[in-house]
Chain A
Amino acid sequence: MIRPFILAAILSGTSLLANADEVQIAVAANFSAPIKLIAADFEKDTGHKAVIATGATGAFYAQIRNGAPFEVFLSADDETPTKLEAEGKTVAGSRFTYAVGKLVLWSAKPGFVDAKGEVLKKGEFAHLSLANPKTAPYGAAAVETLKKLGVFDSLQSKIVQGENISQAQQFIATGNAELGFVALSQVWKDGKLTSGSGWLVPADFYAPIKQDAVILANGKGKAAAEALIKYLKGDKARAVIKSFGYEI
């Protein structure tokens, strides 16, 4: 049995910590690698501490609406932050586009995905991985691409869904799915693929993935939250974002 006063002591202890120039960030899964680098620089340069949670944008939307303690939200789209803004869950005027994402068809096997994505039309694979199109913008972009290519119906039985874009990548990385659609940022660093083979899906195959950041109502008046947004707009952060293949 935990006695009530011990519980109270633990709870008040954690809330004290949360006040110490800390910013709680909800980050779309595709941005998990860049945010780690940016947060490390941010902590060094400003002295604030960044606490990062990554997941599916749609899942964060539900959590934020239901009182999740996040102060800044880096979404995988512009629609979700706009909706939160309209619902009064954000600090008005704080929303801006921090990155424009790109979709890539990727396989962990070198040479499996050709430079034109013809591999999709041949269909010689058992599993095609993508993120849940209803909650993850990159999943929705993947479905748009498959429809544009006219292969959605024929490949539907081969689609396996990750709960978010990280899980979609994990299915491919472990070889359980031969290929799949992920965010370029997950497999791209400094001008080339980090491993495997890929097809950069042409930008006109899917609606642009404009990724917006916003300060949430919880972050109102908090120095660390404002500092983070300012930092994201700075040259140092932008250079990191670009190195992962995003446009700004």
Chain B
Amino acid sequence: MLSSADWAAISLTLKLASLTTLLLLLIGTPIAWWLAYTRSKLKPAIGAVVSLPLVLPPTVLGFYMLLLMGPNGWIGQFTQALGLGTLPFTFTGLLVASVLYSMPFVVQPVQNAFEAIGPRPLEVAATLRASPLKTFFAVALPLARPGFITGAILGFAHTVGEFGVVLMIGGNIPGKTRVVSVQIFNHVEEMEYLHAHWLAGGMVVLSFLVLLALYVLNPNPRKG
């Protein structure tokens, strides 16, 4: 059965995935909006940067974060100057890593949903003298709802499935950085296959339910 260490890993994972999803909806929405409507020449470059985590192995992110966030890296020196210490081996560090790592999974569906609205409804709103801000909240957001649902679910699920980055910058600390994927790895390495089965089987069921929810709520997630 599940031990108290397993439960600690589960609650930590859920906390990490929830906070990551929340942050990504806040940070990702303006990025997605900008990408959907900008005419800037920078659009392809920014779009490519946002999508990088889709392509890069997690070890690349883990390696650079370990160096940049460490006491000798520039991010590390910045966080130390703020009195925050360094980020590796902390929950905050994992949160920063997860936001970067899951970014495209939220931004892309939301961007697609914004693009699918097209200029017409926004122009109509403008002719009815709605301010750009009001247009965004009263017209664009409700119309893009399927994109937000898809983005939130994928962002959450992808963070739950994160492993390589956490292994490289986490330090395997119970209650702080030992998430479910790492705990499963520990169980397997320690030959505790029964424990591994409970957690791994649970992950299979949870992942299926999450994706099932996605397809029930959004029959055509690709269309946003």
Contact = CB atoms under 8 A, between A and B. Distances in A.
17 contacts: A58-B191, A61-B191, A62-B188, A62-B189, A126-B86, A134-B189, A134-B190, A160-B171, A161-B172, A162-B171, A162-B172, A163-B185, A170-B66, A171-B88, A174-B66, A176-B70, A176-B89
Given A160-B172, A161-B171, A171-B171, A58 B71 contact: no
Given A135-B190, A163-B167, 13 more contacts: A126-B85, A127-B89, A127-B171, A129-B171, A132-B172, A134-B186, A134-B190, A160-B173, A161-B172, A161-B173, A162-B171, A163-B185, A171-B88
A209 B200 CA distance: 34
B72 interface: yes
Contacts of A171: 88, 171
* Interface bin, chain B: 20 to 34
Contacts of A163: 167, 172, 185, 189
B71 A175 contact: yes
Interface of A: 56, 58-59, 61-62, 126-127, 129, 132, 134-135, 159-163, 170-171, 174-177
B67 interface: yes
Give the secondary structure class of B's interface: loop
Contacts of B72: 174-175
A132 B170 CA distance: 13
A59 B186 CA distance: 9
A232 B48 CA distance: 51
Contacts of B70: 174-176
A62 B187 CA distance: 11
B171 A58 contact: no
Contacts of A56: 189
A166 B72 CA distance: 20
Contacts of A129: 171
Interface in B167-188: 167, 171-173, 185-186, 188
Contacts of B89: 127, 160, 176-177
Nearest to B188: A62
A157 to B, nearest CB: 8
B66 A59 contact: no
Interface string B84-95: 011011000000
Contacts of B185: 163
Contacts of B71: 175-176
Interface string B185-201: 11011110000000000
B190 A58 contact: yes
B99 to A, nearest CB: 20
Nearest to A56: B189
A102 to B, nearest CB: 24
Contact of A174 (B67, B167, B172, B190): B67
5 smallest A-B Cβ distances: which pairs?
A160-B171, A161-B172, A175-B71, A176-B70, A176-B88
B170 to A, nearest CB: 8
A175 B66 CA distance: 9
Given A61-B191, A134-B190, A176-B70, A159 B173 contact: yes
Best-surrounded residue of B66, B67, B88, B171 (most CB of chain A within 10 A) = B171
Given A127-B171, A161-B173, A176 B189 contact: no
Contacts of A161: 171-173
Most buried by A among B67, B71, B85, B167: B71
B82 to A, nearest CB: 15
A127 B90 CA distance: 11
A135 B190 CA distance: 6
Contacts of B88: 171, 176
A132 B191 CA distance: 14
Interface string B160-172: 0000000100011
A69 to B, nearest CB: 19
A176 B173 CA distance: 14
B186 A132 contact: yes
Contacts of A160: 89, 171-173
Contacts of B173: 159-161
A161 B166 CA distance: 12
A126 B190 CA distance: 27
Nearest to A61: B191
